[in-house]
Amino acid sequence: MRRAVCPGSFDPIHNGHLEVIARAASLFDEVIVAVSTNYAKKYRFTLEERIGMARETLASLRGIVVEPVGEGLLAEYCRRRGASAIVKGLRSSSDFDYELPMATMNRQLTGVETVFLPAEGHYLHLSSTLIKEVHTLGGDVSEFVPKSVLRRLGSGGAV
Ligand code: PNS
């Protein structure tokens, strides 16, 4: 059983995430979408909401589970869960610069590898932060997020 972890805040999950998760699922027997909480970050959605949106969206796909990461190191979480790889999507060279030290550190900590997947061209501009800002200012984000997220984002206005 080859298991991979797709970690992130998923605040909220968007179509760029989904595309990377689906491709990870084609490479591994099981993919754990691991929803993290960083106490230094201010989230738009609670952990339960972020998990709920991801579960609703991914329910029809086989071999994907969604769960919270909990506290502590991601590398240790991967070891506990028997995952040999972390999968991350890369949108740009700045994503790579940010991710490379973490990938190396995670491998040194527990031996977990990181697999980078180049993001699909039409999702290169997507981030949860930008989607929330556009929605808050009245823009249409229906093209960028799944229905379960659109429903929870509501009708917009200041967050
Ligand atoms: O979606 P995000 O907020 O960019 O996700 C970041 C995440 C969860 C992947 C990153 O913060 C992380 O790996 N956190 C776990 C804590 C940890 O292991 N830190 C050391 C990294 S080498």
**β-strand pairing of 30-35 with 64-68:** parallel
Distance 121 CA to ligand 1 centre (A): 24
Q: Assess contact for 18 and 81: CB atoms under 8 A.
A: no
Our answer on whether the CB atom of 9 is closer than 6 Å to any ligand 1 atom is: yes
Q: Does residue 93 have an active-site annotation?
A: no
Query: Hey, what amino acid is at 88?
Result: K
CA distance 140 to 142: 6
In this prediction, residue 70 carries a pLDDT of: 87
**Which residue owns the Cα nearest ligand 1 atom 20?**
73
**Which residue owns the Cα nearest ligand 1 atom 4?**
8
Q: In order along the chain (159 residues), what is the average pLDDT of each group of 10 residues?
A: 97 98 98 93 95 96 95 96 98 97 98 97 96 97 97 70
**Which residue owns the Cα nearest ligand 1 atom 6?**
8
Distance 134 CA to ligand 1 centre (A): 25
